[in-house]
Amino acid sequence: MQYPEPIAKLIDGYMKLPGIGEKTAVRLAFYTISMDTDDVNEFSQALVAAKKNLHYCSICGNITESDPCVICADKGRDRTKVIVVEQSKDVMSLEKMREYHGLYHVLHGVLSPMEGRGPEDINIASLVKRLQKNPDLTEVIIATNATPEGEATAMYISRLIKPANIKVTRLAHGLAVGSDIEYADEMTLYKAIEGRQEI
């Protein structure tokens, strides 16, 4: 039996989301249909507003409503340190622990030759320009995930930055190999930052 076209389109829309298979998409579509009309309108408006009003900070690449983002605009932040992360959600995870007061740089991915993603495909060039413009910067903390791609990206950035006499450190492996920063608790992240090592 075929679903009516509006439901089929809704199912297809949900299946475009990461980690959503056909069964989950069907369940979400039918749940959406059973929702109150006001809730559906609010949800759809939130989707449109997020897509329309959010963009990347011109300095750090974090997702933001304003440019520069609130972190880059905050004069009270420690401007001698920058943590380099894979995604904007990693910034949110690190900010939750309220122990790090420096700046961030979001790569929007990692190097992955298998997927055809090289240095020009992620936000590395702007990091190099940023480091050249900021003479106060003394340390770059690389906080890519402990995956083969994350490690390769960390090594690449380290080799790129080292000649500039900037200290390059890596988060300590308090994070389990293969894990994502997004899912780590605040104490694990705090210990990982405290135990970072130069690479």
Of residues 174, 177, 179, the one with CA closest to residue 97: 174
Q: Which whole-number Å values give the CA distances from 45 to 40, 48, 52, in the listed order?
A: 8, 5, 10
Tokens 């690190």 -> residue:
94
What is d(CA 147, CA 170) in angstroms, rounded to the nearest whole number?
13
Low-confidence ranges of the chain (pLDDT < 50): none
Question: Residues for the chain: how many in total?
Answer: 199
What is d(CA 149, CA 119) in angstroms, rounded to the nearest whole number?
12
For the chain, domains (ranges, CATH) are 5-53 (1.10.8.420), 74-198 (3.40.1360.10)
What is d(CA 56, CA 199) in angstroms, rounded to the nearest whole number?
29
What is d(CA 32, CA 40) in angstroms, rounded to the nearest whole number?
7
pLDDT digits (tens, 9 = 90+) for 162-198: 888 899 998 876 667 677 888 887 867 877 787 777 7
pLDDT digits (tens, 9 = 90+) for 23-41: 999 999 999 999 999 999 9
Q: Which whole-number Å values give the CA distances from 28 to 1, 3, 5, 42, 80, in the listed order?
A: 19, 14, 16, 16, 46
Can you give the pLDDT at residue 178?
A: 73
Can you give the pLDDT at residue 14?
A: 96
Does residue 88 contact residue 96 with C-beta atoms inside 8 Å? no
What is d(CA 42, CA 104) in angstroms, rounded to the nearest whole number?
32
What is d(CA 38, CA 170) in angstroms, rounded to the nearest whole number?
47
pTM for this structure?
0.78
